[in-house]
Amino acid sequence: MDSCVFFVHLDMAAELEILNSLNEQQLMMLRLFKNPLPEGDFQQMRRLAVKLLARKLDEVTEAWEKDNQVTEETYDELSKGHFRSKAKRS
């Protein structure tokens, strides 16, 4: 087998593996941005995506804190405590 054909085959196999591991939303995003964006637009899209993910993380964290009754006081107490394990005595 010609080495060029071998690498093309490997490249196609890797591409198929990546495509098979993506969900439908991820594939739609790739199709949407098939053509390169100007750098400024790309950076703006990236910042928007990070803001969205950060907001979702905040929502999940707040829900967890509510479910587990974690308050500002809880964090304050934790910040003043120490978590070192006691030395084992032989």
My answer on whether 47 and 73 are in the same domain is yes
| Matching residue, tokens 């739609």 | 28
What residues have CB less than 8 Å from 16, skipping those under 6 apart? none
- 18-77 pLDDT, tens per residue? 778 889 998 898 888 889 999 999 999 999 999 999 999 999 999 999 999 999 999 998
pLDDT at 8 over 90: no
What residues have CB less than 8 Å from 68, skipping those under 6 apart? none
Find the domain containing 72 and state its range. 36-80
Q: Evaluate whether residue 88 is within a structural domain.
A: no
Segment 80-84 mean pLDDT: 78
Q: How far apart are the first and last CA of the chain?
A: 66
Q: Evaluate whether residue 86 is within a structural domain.
A: no
My answer on whether 42 and 69 are in the same domain is yes
Q: Evaluate whether residue 10 is within a structural domain.
A: yes
Q: What is the pTM of this model?
A: 0.58
Residue, of 1 and 58, whose pLDDT is higher: 58
Asked if 12 and 19 count as a contact pair (C-beta separation under 8 A), the reply is no
Between CA 59 and CA 55 the distance in angstroms is: 6
